């Protein structure tokens, strides 16, 4: 069977799944709107976790939280299921497809066959929609792909039951109840306030404080860890910032698009100006990536070069702090 589902590519997978599932159910909500209402923007340093033998920073909220917050703030109810047994997970998926209900799935990327080999790491927070089954293959709408694709039963089971950090355990989710009319105004304000609170939180590993912390660490890495490791760590920060699904600039551009749209919905001219400001901050993040890449490309950088990119991050931290304080007052 095949459900009449419209696939639309998005920058980020979770926003895209939510936006596409909402559209299927008759509500047109853009990707940036989902991201903004769901308070997707973040900066967080996770000192206790290592991925690919390097420390982890993230530019977005934890997997699953964007949809959770979006649903709560707009009055949508979602059903979520996790499974211990792959057979049960498959049976429940088939049941839903039988009932013409497309569902969102959390999957691991490592065994995702349609991704290029080089991009397949043990990252378990990817999202996709399954919208049918044809000749024993599941029909897949993966938001970061231009076109729809398909996976065999075995291939889908493998990505649904990938292991490691954030193991999906067959995680399946779909909206089950909707409000009569989507009330965006209040939801937008709530989403913005939450992001401002997170980004200016008095915690050393969250928000602008975490950016400053990373800047400090970068200055120390070459001496403490050696050039090779320092470059490996720096590369990982850039990869997290510009990995597929960020929309560029560590999600700052998607947030800019959100503020622009929000300024029209709320008829708040100030948000439009702030959209321009976060866009410029996004450009600074990209400048940082360019300069960082010069360091790890040459593999023989001076200590000065590390200090220079650390300075860039410190400036970004100051600008973001001022930005989120202004944004908080604007709504």
Partner 1 sequence: MKKNEVPQDKSNLESANIKEMYYAVDENGEYTTELSTGWDPKTIALNNAIKDIEERTEKARQKVLQNTTSPIEYYMELHKMDIGILASYVGMWTWRVKRHFKPSVFKKLNKKTLQKYADIFEVSIEQLKDIDK
- Interface map 44-63 toward partner 1 (x if CB under 8 A): ------x-xx----------
Nearest approach in angstroms of CB 65 to partner 1 is 21
Q: Please compute, for residue 29, the number of CA atoms within 13 A of its CA located in the half-sphere on the CB side.
A: 31
Q: How far is the CB of 118 from partner 1 (least distance, A)?
A: 5
Name the residue among 26, 238, 5 with its Cα closest to residue 142. Answer: 5
Interface with partner 1 includes 141 (CB under 8 A)?
no
When binding is defined by CB under 8 A, the residue of 150, 270, 293, 307 that contacts partner 1 is 293
Q: Give CA 123 to chain center in angstroms.
A: 12
Nearer Cβ to partner 1, position 105 or 278? 278
Identity of the residue, 53 or 329, whose beta carbon is nearer to partner 1 in the bound complex: 53
Question: Looking only at residues 167 through 196 of this chain, which bind partner 1 when binding is defined by CB under 8 A?
Answer: 167
In this structure, the number of other CB atoms found within 10 A of the CB of residue 98 comes to 10
HEC-encoded secondary structure of 193-237:
HHHHHHHCCCCCCEHHHHHHHHHHHHHHHHHHHCHHHHHHHHHHH
Give the footprint of partner 1 on residues 217-236 (CB under 8 A).
Answer: 231-232, 235-236
Applying CB under 8 A, the span of 170-178, 211-219, 249-257, 310-318 interacting with partner 1 comes to 249-257
- Percentages (nearest 5) of helix, strand, coil residues in the chain: 55, 15, 30
309 binds partner 1 (CB under 8 A): no
The least distance separating partner 1 from the CB of residue 99, rounded to whole angstroms, comes to 31
Strand ranges, E, within the chain: 41-51, 54-60, 77-81, 103-107, 126-134, 137-141, 149-152, 172-177
Is position 122 an interface residue for partner 1 (rule: CB under 8 A)? yes
Task: From 267, 280, 253, select the one nearest 330 (Cα to Cα).
Answer: 267
With b meaning 16 or more CB within 10 Å and e meaning fewer, what string describes 34-63? bbbbbbbbbbbbeeeeebeebbbbbbbbeb
C-alpha span between 225 and 236 (Å, rounded): 15
Given 81, 94, 283, 311, the residue binding partner 1 (CB under 8 A)? 283
Residue 194 in tokens: 């939450």
From the list 47, 79, 88, 114, which residue makes contact with partner 1 (rule: CB under 8 A)? 114
Residue 96 found at the interface with partner 1 (CB under 8 A): no
Using CB under 8 A as the binding rule, whether residue 165 contacts partner 1 is answered as yes
Question: From the list 227, 244, 305, 315, which residue makes contact with partner 1 (rule: CB under 8 A)?
Answer: 244
Q: Kindly tell me which residue out of 21, 97, 218, 254 binds partner 1, with binding defined by CB under 8 A.
A: 254
**Cβ of residue 209: shortest distance to partner 1, in angstroms?**
25
Whole-number Å distance between alpha carbons of 67 and 323: 25
Q: Cα–Cα distance between 300 and 298 in angstroms, integer?
A: 5
Q: How far apart are CA 20 and CA 7, in angstroms?
A: 7
- The region of 127-135, 175-183, 277-285, 310-318 touching partner 1 under the rule CB under 8 A is 277-285
With binding defined as CB under 8 A, does residue 144 bind partner 1? Answer: yes
3-class SS of residue 179: coil
d(CA 106, CA 124): 7
Is 290 an interacting residue with respect to partner 1 (CB under 8 A)? Answer: yes
Binders of partner 1 in range 8-37 (CB under 8 A): 9-11, 32
Nearer to partner 1, 145 or 187 (CB): 145
Question: Which parts of this chain interact with partner 1 (CB under 8 A)?
Answer: 9-11, 32, 50, 52-53, 110, 114-116, 118-122, 144-146, 163-165, 167, 231-232, 235-236, 238-239, 242-244, 247-249, 253-254, 256-257, 260-261, 275-276, 279, 282-283, 286, 289-290, 292-293, 296-297
């Amino acid at each position: 069977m095949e459900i009449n589902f419209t696939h639309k590519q998005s920058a980020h997978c979770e926003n895209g799944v939510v936006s596409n599932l909402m559209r299927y159910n008759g509500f047109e909500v853009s990707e940036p709107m989902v991201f903004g209402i769901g308070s997707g923007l973040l900066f967080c340093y996770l000192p206790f976790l290592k991925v690919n033998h390097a420390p982890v920073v993230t530019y977005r909220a934890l997997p699953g939280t964007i949809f959770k917050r979006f649903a709560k703030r707009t009055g949508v109810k979602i059903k979520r299921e996790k499974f211990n047994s792959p057979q049960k997970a498959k049976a429940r998926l088939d049941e839903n497809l039988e009932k013409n209900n497309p569902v969102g799935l959390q999957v691991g990327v490592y065994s995702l066959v349609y991704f290029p080999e080089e991009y397949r790491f043990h990252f378990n927070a990817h999202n996709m929609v399954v919208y049918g089954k044809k000749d024993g293959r599941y029909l897949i709408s993966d938001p970061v792909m231009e076109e729809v694709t398909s996976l065999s039963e075995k291939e889908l089971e493998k990505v649904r039951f990938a292991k490691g950090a954030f193991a999906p355990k067959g995680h399946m989710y779909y909206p089950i109840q909707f409000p009569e009319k989507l009330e965006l105004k209040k939801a937008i304000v709530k989403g913005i306030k939450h992001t401002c609170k997170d980004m200016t939180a008095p915690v050393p590993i969250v928000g602008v404080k975490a950016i400053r912390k990373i800047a400090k660490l970068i200055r120390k890495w070459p001496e403490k860890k050696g050039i090779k490791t320092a470059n490996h760590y720096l590369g990982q920060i850039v990869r997290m910032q510009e990995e597929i699904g960020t929309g560029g600039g560590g999600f700052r551009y998607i947030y800019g698009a959100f503020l622009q749209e929000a300024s029209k919905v709320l008829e708040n001219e100030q948000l439009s100006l702030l959209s321009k400001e976060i866009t410029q901050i996004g450009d600074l993040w990209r400048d940082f990536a360019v300069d960082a890449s010069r360091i790890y490309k040459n593999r023989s950088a001076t200590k000065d070069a590390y200090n220079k990119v650390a300075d860039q991050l410190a400036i970004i931290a100051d600008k973001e702090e001022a930005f989120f304080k202004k944004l908080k007052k604007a709504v």
